[in-house]
Homo-oligomer: A and B are copies of this chain.
Amino acid sequence: MPDRLTLSIDAMGGDNAPDMVVEGICLALEQITDVQFMLFGDQDKLNALLEKFPKARAASRVFHTDDVVSNQEKPGIALRSGRQSSMRLAINAVGRGEADGVISSGNTGALMAMAKFVLKTLPGIDRPAIATYLPTIKGGSVMLDLGANVSCDADNLVQFAVMGEVFARNMLKIDKPTVGILNVGEEVLKGNDAVKQAAQILSETHLPLDYYGFIEGDDIGAGTVDVVVTDGFTGNIALKTAEGTAKLFGHFLRKSLTSTWRAKIGAYLSKKALLDFKKQVDPRRYNGAMFLGLNGICIKSHGGTDAVGFANAIQVACDLIKTSLNENIKTDYAKLTGEFGEDLL
């Protein structure tokens, strides 16, 4: 472990970039001191921003490029024509060992394609998956895939289960995380072919992970399992549905608490508690998803995030680097494939 971590940042990715990137660095530095940044993007804009945030400037180096991957760009085209983009150069820094991890709030598909091309996947992994930490009634869980793979077969889901289990062990500090597959019912005969076959593999092959069985959508928030496994289409929609529901809930709550004077006085007295509550459900606290299965730490920050969310993504990156996540995945995965044969997974 080096004394100081180095993160390479796609400073132009995201709706509010590069402002929220520099401000986010500044916020992160209030919590983490042993980190420095390589910022890839428009040097004029970045230097002007760093002027305003001397603390961020002291911890950052700027690497100029004019090229940015747009949100509309197809992954394949971004991969071929975006070789000088801020996203690609930031990834390259990890590939060359100059940085310990990369963060981007840009185009998810392009980021995945480039990261897979530059960093390669870990041994035994066909397709990387996007994983994140989610709050639950019991504390927190890990969910994957959140959008890297719009269609998945049973083998992909089994690989996600194994990677997710290691991720949860490192992130949540649980000895034996439980793993469930997201489905439309708990009964074994429910669902599509991919989930049914994956469930059969996980049940019958006695992999050394605690397979719980099928779970349903409401089990995510309930925290029924520590690791929620699903394909990227369903996972992305479930995650964003949860975000939208939280917003709707907040909307109804605000409306009710401002409906009468009595309610307003009550809300005033409960202000601190309501702010604590708001903080707990703030999606920015959970910003920073991991591209799991790559030979390098690559964090996808939400495209619409602000400085607070970006600071959280920096925190996630630092935590994962410090726990040597990828080394642990490699070791555990090798153990599994060694015991059960490469072709099983």
Contact = CB atoms under 8 A, between A and B. Distances in A.
A213 interface: no
Contacts of A243: 217-218
A174 interface: no
A249 B281 contact: yes
Interface string A249-291: 1011101110110110111111111101100110000000000
A244 interface: yes
Nearest to A241: B217
A183 B237 CA distance: 7
Interface string A161-194: 0000000000000000000001110010111100
Given A240-B218, A244-B217, A256 B233 contact: no
A216 interface: yes
Contacts of A248: 135-137, 221-222, 281
Given A262-B269, A267-B270, A272-B263, A236 B217 contact: yes
A241 B141 CA distance: 14
Interface in A80-117: 109
Contacts of A182: 237
A139 to B, nearest CB: 11
A266 B262 contact: no
A344 interface: no
Contacts of A219: 244
Interface in A191-225: 191-192, 216-222
A184 B257 contact: no
Contacts of A259: 273, 276
Interface in A220-234: 220-222, 230, 232-234
Given A184-B232, A234-B234, A266-B266, A240 B256 contact: no
B281 A237 contact: no
Nearest to A277: B256
A32 interface: no
Contacts of A189: 74
Nearest to A238: B241
B262 A240 contact: no
Interface of A: 71-72, 74, 109, 135-137, 147, 150-151, 182-184, 187, 189-192, 216-222, 230, 232-234, 236-249, 251-253, 255-257, 259-260, 262-263, 265-274, 276-277, 280-281
21 contacts: A135-B252, A137-B251, A182-B237, A184-B237, A216-B237, A217-B243, A218-B240, A218-B243, A218-B244, A220-B241, A220-B245, A221-B247, A230-B237, A237-B238, A241-B241, A249-B281, A252-B280, A257-B270, A259-B273, A265-B269, A269-B269
Given A184-B232, A217-B244, A266-B269, 18 more contacts: A74-B189, A184-B233, A184-B237, A216-B240, A217-B240, A217-B242, A218-B240, A220-B245, A242-B244, A253-B253, A256-B276, A257-B273, A257-B274, A262-B270, A263-B269, A266-B271, A267-B273, A270-B270
